[in-house]
Amino acid sequence: MSTNTGMGSHVIEADVVVCGGGVAGTMAAVAAARQGASVVLVERYGFLGGNATAGAVAQFNSWQTGNGRRVVAGLADEVVARLRLYGAARSHERFVMSTGHHMDRVEYAPEVLKLALDDMVAEAGVRPLLHANLLDVECEGRHIVGMRVLTKGGVLRLRASVLVDASGDMDALKQAGARFLELGDNESLQPATMMFRFGPIDFDRFGALTKAELAELAARGYAQGQLARAALHSSRDPYSTDGWFNISRLGIDATDPMALGAAEIEGRRQAWKAAWFLTHSVPGCEDGRLRAFATQVGVRETRRVEGDHVLTAEELLKPVQFPDAIAAGAYPIDIHPASGGSLHYVPMGPDHAYQIPYRSLIPSTLDNALVVGRGISASHEALAAIRVMTISMAVGHAAGIAAAMAARAADAGMAAQVRAVPVPALREALLRGGAVLG
């Protein structure tokens, strides 16, 4: 529904507004709309997907425990199924990373993911508001009552019963005055990465390199200053003999606008040097050249909201069974230091999975907002496990259903209260939708 206030400012009303169209936000928007809510999805680019498309991560990691038990399904599974209909996702596989660690993944084509997400949004009836940047958020006490966005048509005002912040940097909640978690004395923000496309690659030869050979090559490239970190991690493009490489390292606070711009420039320089090393030193890559940069640097960590529950690494490692669990995961604690070539990596046991509680999606100081993606309420170390896109899609699925339930209650004459969402009904709806909760 849209109205005009008569003062030149256009107002769009919805049950749920999702701020940020990455995979977490898109899943939240689709899930809410499928529950019958009217939904507006706000995104700064002209396409959806966030780090999965603009960041060109090109693989969805960690669908299962080490022994093969599935822990992520639901809407995330649907995304992969739709990619496969376009011929744009490879088979699920287990592999060994260039750092020597075991992992499972689905490789996909980032450009085609844009189409798959478009399809899901359109079919669900979500109204996508693309090319829109957040200006400010209006609050009355603990309630968000509206937000303004800058578009090609000027400033629009959005009003919704529930706001889902899926912006990664928690831009909407920052404007709303939410509280955020601080880094510990020995902690620093995880670095960003500039993904780049390189090819052609003889994947038979490149894939035949042993763990020891990959480690030796990566260490040599790092020692020579050609690689920003000692890794040669890549995923194959489904349509070609090109690969997307994740081997740069940019230690910045991505909420600092000058630093973010500098990181984009430095990331392209690092990618060019890494591509030169691949061509001249890595078997199977001799004929390859740098083909493309990602649209943006991929950011692992900035703001983490203070929620009703702060998820900790200890809770993941036990693992704690939460009565309000709304998603599960098995990805390891994977901390990239801001500088240097190393990686802090804590793998999970063969059948180890952990849970994410609904309370970690609820900002402590607000009553009608939810958080999805890498900004949820978790310690620095816990975030290093739960930030990956598979888990973010699972959390987005849950938040969308919860937002629709809260908005429905508001329609019954109350102000929307995300804490009043009946968790058993939320969990039941997730299970009906194919989600895994533990």
Task: Verify cis geometry, omega within 30 degrees of 0, for the bond prior to 110.
Answer: no
Query: How far is residue 9's CA from residue 291's CA, in Å, rounded to a whole number?
Result: 44
Query: How far is residue 294's CA from residue 2's CA, in Å, rounded to a whole number?
Result: 35
Which alpha helices (DSSP H) does 290-362 contain, by range? 313-317
As separate numbers, helices (DSSP H) first and strands (DSSP E) second, the chain gives 11, 19
Query: How far is residue 299's CA from residue 293's CA, in Å, rounded to a whole number?
Result: 15
Predicted TM-score (pTM) of this structure: 0.95
Query: How far is residue 272's CA from residue 267's CA, in Å, rounded to a whole number?
Result: 9
Residue 71's pLDDT is 97
In tens digits, the chain (438 residues) has pLDDT values of 555 543 346 899 999 999 999 999 999 999 999 999 999 999 999 999 999 999 999 999 999 999 999 999 999 999 999 999 999 999 999 988 766 778 999 999 999 999 999 999 999 999 999 999 999 999 999 999 999 999 999 999 999 999 999 999 999 999 999 999 999 898 999 999 999 999 999 999 999 999 899 999 999 999 999 999 999 999 999 989 999 999 999 999 999 999 999 999 999 999 999 999 999 999 999 999 999 999 999 999 999 999 999 999 999 999 999 999 999 999 999 888 776 656 788 889 999 999 999 999 999 999 999 999 999 999 999 999 999 999 999 999 999 999 999 999 876 655 789 999 999 999 999 999 999 998
Element (H, E) at 26: helix 23-34
Residue 411's pLDDT is 66
Q: Dihedral of the CA atoms 159, 160, 166, 168 (nearest 10)? A: 40
Contact 288, 400 (CB under 8 A): no
The DSSP output letter for 297 is: P
Residue 413's pLDDT is 56
Rg (alpha carbons) of the chain, rounded to whole number: 21
Beta strands in 62-221 (DSSP E): 93-96, 102-107, 127-129, 133-140, 143-151, 154-165, 196-199
Instruction: Determine the residue type at 309.
Output: H
Contact 168, 375 (CB under 8 A): yes
DSSP reduced 3-state for 413: coil
DSSP reduced 3-state for 317: helix
Taking alpha carbons only, the member of 32, 72, 98, 433 closest to residue 282 is 98
Token pair for 393: 């899609």
Contact residues for 301 (Cβ-Cβ < 8 A; gap 6+)? 189, 190, 374, 380, 383, 384, 387
Residue 2's pLDDT is 55
